[in-house]
Chain A
């Protein structure tokens, strides 16, 4: 049976079961609007979905019921026994039809015209049903009819017609052939993200995934799936983990025994354990559509927000992965989708110009391969421009020109995974603040996954993510080094190399004292596990064992004493104190009952400073520093203080630097003013604030200002009418750097002293100056 229909059935039947209870509740409290609303929603969902799936008869019935319910919900009709009966008949009819759907994948021939008619009549306020009969047996003890005087005395005729009609089947339906969606409801069932209804389109929703093993024949779907607590599943998963360990121990023991029945029994145990493990793991599996379902809507909203046109395509929605991983992938995927819309897909005009359709396409793919889940998010947008990335990196001082020359285009593209690296030209409210891709990368690596990207300029970008199926039990390679066993997760494993005795002395070469191995013509950095872990080599073997590992994009060879075998191991966390050691991901218990540590390949790479990886970290650190420096950087205006001292004025509050002729100065009261851009600009002379403080012989030289005598330099603060000008003798320079106040203030108007360009410079107290200028600003305003 179609997965969608199966989900529809599970959901609808579950909803209907609750309806029975709710009707009973309503009877006790007919005014309960909440219950009415929830009944309405259930029926509405059924109607919407079956309209979408093409179950016309079912939809008709549900539609009639929904109309009636909506009036009840809005308080336009009172809930009466008669209505209750009619609605319960409707529920029964729906249930019958759902049964039909389950058997035949069609909703049957019966169209329930009588029921629909009754529902419609009740909706129109009529209680006009002519033939009186006994009250519906479904309702049990009659409710006092006080709430609905009009309909009270009229008993329900409905039950009978419904059942008899069913028996004497097909009188041709008065409705038009309903395989095509009836117009009035079309809007409500369109699966497009535009749906105006408050409910998400039910098809997109998944309940606790029905077991796909359920035989389509015998038991009803409602009976074949149950909801289970996640903690219970977690517990089962742990127990299975223990069982796997016990199994491993028994297997190890039995191979030493020459006891055929024991051997056979233990092999059976082994098989059953494996199957059980797989089964339990499957209970925790959920289709990725659980998180994907919301993306069409997200994309639509985002695209609208930045006036782009984007459509979403999904492949492999049914790909399953562990529930905890699904949760962990939610944020990274959302981020990637946002990025693709905001940065990836171009504006419609730009797309047209590039010869692409105006509507961009976002493709989400998921599939299983090699015991891992692969997820790809691609857009057909502009792609990453390595040249742009390069100049950005240079501009931010992340890389030197030398380094840049040695980097490949792909290296530049991968720089987007660095913290704080954003290529968006402007920051939008969606993205572009330069936080994000590094977080995405960290989040994915935290769950043992890797992310990479492919991009072609003008063609689009694809992000490729690989994550393990589950976290609790992983296949691992067991190795021995320094007399201890260690487990290496197979996710990171690429290949094993054995260097035999003759090549032993030549195989490993050195690049500036860093060991490397030539692997098919390429240099592979070599890390000695014993050295990294400070273990003493115990092996006397004359071969070298190299385990080729991969973390992110980086490959390296790990030299170990001995390679044992592969095993399924149960990952157990380490104590807090030990979690600080980056080279271990956890521990596990081996078949002989001893504990073995699980190596964290990324941690080892970092510890060993595998080339590119440490570069990444250096870059990130440099970037951080650069940003911090930027934050502290100040721009200062250097002017000549009265006398020949130097004064620094923070540039931030300065709006303009102007030069006026001295004869432009006019007077307003006792203040010098000047006409400036249609307003009056009050002037304050610097030497009025800072008294002249110089010895006579210096005064003698001081007259030699470079500025012409009839010109004056004015620093304009503020904007609009609220401006004030500071008259200085001479503007010397503008400097930008991180400045440290070296000395305290020695007089008013000065905050402290700095050393700029090797000269002691006083820092102007801009705060007190602006306070002093405040009354003058008022003057300018009045004028």
Chain B
């Protein structure tokens, strides 16, 4: 397996995801988040990463999944992209895995919407599927703001003004 790719894996609910380790700066436990009013809903807020202020993006909201339970504290996967450093909020952290490119497959045609843009493909592992994300696209302003539109349409984005 010469071209084995190293993926940093994590879970949203029981869905299994991975991002290339090359993009990942570090993985850290829950940090207090300062919410940013009026920001797109996918942006949960700001965290203090050893003196650096990092924007935290909720992957659940980005992929249009239901919010995690209130007592479940998200973990941070700190990613470096061309747009800067971001923290990806996920439910649980998995292992770093080497995967065989031979078992890679592009996403099925039935996938649509924002997920189709963000999910690069699938590694068919023993007993489960591992979805890989396109980190380069994840934090582009148009993607982050798109999440906002959807949420506003759903009418659940922000509490109604007093």
* Residues of chain A having any CB pair with chain B under 8 Å: 242, 245, 482, 484, 528, 530-531, 533-537, 572, 574-578, 580-581, 583-584, 587, 589, 593-597
A533-B34 in contact (CB<8A) = no
> How far is the CB of A586 from the nearest CB of chain B, in Å?
9
Pairs of residues from A and B, 10 with the lowest C-beta to C-beta distance, nearest first? A533-B37, A595-B34, A595-B46, A575-B55, A577-B141, A572-B53, A534-B158, A581-B38, A577-B144, A587-B53
Are A584 and B36 within 8 A (Cβ)? yes
Q: Total interface residues on B, using CB and 8 Å?
A: 27
Answer whether residue B162 sits at the interface, using C-beta atoms and an 8 A cutoff. Answer: yes
State whether A576 and B37 are in contact (beta carbons under 8 Å apart), knowing that A242-B51, A589-B53, A594-B48 are contacts in the complex.
no
- Judging by beta carbons under 8 Å apart, are A537 and B162 in contact? yes
Contact B159–A536 (Cβ < 8 Å): yes
Closest CB in chain B relative to A124 CB, distance in Å: 69
Offer 7 A-B interface pairs, CB within 8 angstroms, sorted by A. A528-B162, A531-B161, A531-B162, A583-B37, A587-B53, A594-B34, A597-B37
Q: A576–B84 contact, CB under 8 A?
A: yes
Residue from B48, B139, B161 in contact with A593 in the complex, judged by beta carbons closer than 8 Å: B48
A591 to chain B, nearest CB (A): 11
Q: How far is the CB of A248 from chain B (nearest CB, A)?
A: 12
Within 8 A of A (CB), among B33-83: 34-40, 43, 45-48, 51, 53, 55, 83
Contacts of B145 in A (CB 8 A): 577
| Alpha-carbon gap, A32 to B36, bound state (A) | 64
Which residues of B are found within 8 Å of A597, using beta-carbon distances? Answer: 34, 36-37, 46
The interface residues of chain B lying within 8 Å CB-to-CB of A587 are 34, 46, 53
Distance between A588 CB and nearest chain B CB, rounded to angstroms: 8
Docked Cα-Cα span, A583 to B38, in Å, equals 9
- Contacting residues, chain B, for A531 (C-beta < 8 A): 161-162
Residues of A within 8 A of B53 (CB): 572, 574, 587, 589, 595
Is residue B113 within 8 Å, beta carbon to beta carbon, of the partner chain?
A: no
- Bound Cα distance from A597 to B34, whole angstroms: 8
Q: Would you call B83 and A576 a contact (CB within 8 A)?
A: yes
Contact A245 B51 (CB under 8 A): yes
The answer to the question of B32 belonging to the interface, with a C-beta cut-off of 8 Å to chain A, is yes
Among B36, B39, B139, B161, chain A packs the most CB atoms within 10 A around the CB of B36
Mark each residue of chain B from 121 to 162: 1 if its CB lies under 8 Å from any CB of chain A, else 0: 000000000000000000101001100000000000011011
Known: A534-B159, A578-B55, A587-B46. 8 other contacts (CB 8 A): A530-B162, A534-B38, A534-B158, A575-B84, A577-B40, A577-B55, A581-B36, A594-B34
Residues of chain A within 8 A (CB-CB) of B45 are 595
Measured CB to CB, the closest approach of chain A to B158, in angstroms, equals 5
Chain B nearest CB, measured from A91 CB (Å): 51
In angstroms, Cα B43 to Cα A531, docked, is: 20
CB distance from A729 to the nearest CB of B (A): 60
Q: When the two chains form their complex, are residues B37 and A534 in contact, meaning their CB atoms are under 8 A apart?
A: yes
Instruction: Give which listed residue, B34, B141, B158, B159, contacts A484 with CB less than 8 A.
Output: B34
The answer on a CB contact under 8 Å between A595 and B47 is: yes
**In angstroms, how far is the closest chain B Cβ from the Cβ of A478?**
13
A145 to B43, CA, bound (A): 78
Q: Which residues of B contact A537 (CB under 8 A)?
A: 162
